[in-house]
Structure 1
Amino acid sequence: MEKAILGGGCFWCLEAAFSGLKGVRRVVSGYCGGHVDDPDYRAVCSGATGHVEVVEIEYDPAVVDYATLLQVFFAVHDPTTLDRQGHDVGSQYASVIFHLDEVQRETAAGTIAELEREQVFADPIVTRLAPAPRFYPAEDYHQDYYRQNAQQNYCQLVISPKLAKIRRKFSHLLQNPEAQN
Structure 2
Amino acid sequence: MTIAKIYFLLPLLFLFTSCTEASTDQTTSSLASEAGKTILPEDTAGLAKATFAGGCFWCTEAYFERLQGVEAVISGYSGGTKANPNYSEVSAGETDYAEAVQVYYNPEQISYQELLEVFFATHDPTTLNRQGPDYGKQYRSVVFYRTPEEKKIVDDFVRHLDEAGVYRDDIVTKIQPFKKFWDAEGYHQDYYVNNPSDPYVVSVARPKVAKFEANFRNKLKPEYRD
Give TM class, smaller chain.
over 0.9
Greater CA deviation, 142-151 or 169-178? 169-178
Residue of structure 2 in register with 1:173 after alignment: 219
Question: For residues 119-130 of structure 1, what are the structure 2 equivalents within 5 Å?
Answer: 119-130=165-176
Which stretches in structure 2 are left out of the alignment for 5+ residues?
Answer: 1-46
Which stretches in structure 1 are left out of the alignment for 5+ residues?
Answer: none
Residue of structure 1 in register with 2:111 after alignment: 65
- Kept in 1: contact 2:75–2:100 (CA 8 A): yes
Runs of 4+ in 1 over 4 A off after TM superposition: none
What is the CA–CA distance in structure 1 between the aligned matches of 2:225 and 2:148, rounded to whole Å?
37
State percent identity of aligned pairs: 43
Residue of structure 2 in register with 1:92 after alignment: 138
The two structures have a TM-score, normalised by structure 2, of: 0.77
Residue of structure 2 in register with 1:37 after alignment: 83
The number of residues matched between the two structures is 179
Indicate the SS of the match to 1:56: strand
The two structures have a TM-score, normalised by structure 1, of: 0.96
Of the three residues 96, 99, 102, the one matched with 1:56 is 102
Structure with more of its chain in strand, by fraction: 1
Q: Give the deviation of 1:48 after TM superposition.
A: 2.2
Residue of structure 1 in register with 2:53 after alignment: 7
Q: Is the radius of gyration larger for structure 1 or structure 2?
A: 2
CA RMSD of aligned residues (A): 1.0
Question: For residues 136-175 of structure 1, what are the structure 2 equivalents within 5 Å?
Answer: 136-175=182-221
- Kept in 2: contact 1:17–1:162 (CA 8 A): no
Indicate the SS of the match to 1:27: strand
Indicate the SS of the match to 1:7: strand
